[in-house]
Amino acid sequence: MKIVVAVKRVIDYNVKVRVKADNSNVDLNNVKMSINPFCEIAVEEALRLREAGVASEIVVVSIGPKQAQDVIRTALAMGADRGIWIDSADAEMNALDIACLLGRVVEAEQPGLVLLGKQAIDSDNNQTAQMLAALCDFPQATFASAVTVEGDQVVVTREIDGGLQTLALDLPAVISTDLRLNEPRYVKLPEIMKAKKKPLTTTTPEQLGVHLENTLSLLRVEPPAERSPGIRVESVDQLIENLKHQAKVL
């Protein structure tokens, strides 16, 4: 079985996010960028399925400017087999654009399984996997914390508000990964060297026949208000009093 994994290049989770002076967007100039942690978990899960003998090939896709290749190389160094870079240049895109592009890749590659992070840590949309499943007319399981392939089905444990939900899906299917699914491996030095030689093909939205719509426009970005310092209260009674009358949460 072939697995397609989508990966996104985002601001590194260690970096303190700064807003541009004109509030037009987050300042990404010279900021360290890395593979989205949820996507990294998706790559790891694909690798584990291959190691378990379930998958035979792992194809990694990323969309963006030239630097998007960096996160494909990261995934290849983790162990994925080949990469596809969709060169979107500097185009602004929304989740539906991304899902359409990925849909064309899925159409061409015919994978048994598509794995995506449940959301990217930059804009936290949590939309692409769901849209992609609809476009491909595949069953979907989001927020996966366990994935097992059994014959023509995949059994997925989902983290939902009320606890855990287990679904059986017919393959091919789309799965979006949650944080507790696995702990991604450390990249091995020889794999970094090998990743340079693994095939990475380039395509464009035009070649895939997708016209980018981007129906969203970003109006303004503001940093959250700074937290004011806390106060120490004398007693539990006073705490309840303050919660009732000052904070007005009780």
Q: List interacting residues with another protein (CB under 8 A).
A: 14, 29-30, 32, 70, 73-74, 77, 186-193, 196-197
Q: Which is nearer to another protein, 36 or 142 (CB)?
A: 36
Q: Which is nearer to another protein, 17 or 167 (CB)?
A: 17
Lateral strand order in the sheet of 140-150: 163-170, 153-160, 140-150, 173-177, 113-117, 2-6, 57-64, 82-87, 200-203
Q: Which is nearer to another protein, 82 or 104 (CB)?
A: 82
Name the token pair of 176.
Answer: 């979006």
User: Smallest gap, in angstroms, from Cβ of residue 72 to another protein?
Assistant: 12
Name the token pair of 47.
Answer: 């690798």
User: Smallest gap, in angstroms, from Cβ of residue 42 to another protein?
Assistant: 18
Q: Which is nearer to another protein, 4 or 10 (CB)?
A: 10
| Cα angle, residue 58 at apex, residues 57 and 62 outer, rounded to 5° | 150
Q: Output the CA torsion 227→233→235→236 (10° steps).
A: -10
Q: Output the CA torsion 126→132→137→140 (10° steps).
A: -40
- Residue pair 220/25 in contact (Cβ under 8 Å)? The answer is no
User: Smallest gap, in angstroms, from Cβ of residue 135 to another protein?
Assistant: 33
E-only strand ranges, the chain: 2-6, 9-11, 33-35, 57-64, 82-87, 113-117, 140-150, 153-160, 163-170, 173-177, 200-203
User: Smallest gap, in angstroms, from Cβ of residue 197 to another protein?
Assistant: 8
Q: Which is nearer to another protein, 8 or 158 (CB)?
A: 8
User: Smallest gap, in angstroms, from Cβ of residue 30 to another protein?
Assistant: 3
Q: Which is nearer to another protein, 231 or 250 (CB)?
A: 231
User: Smallest gap, in angstroms, from Cβ of residue 34 to another protein?
Assistant: 8
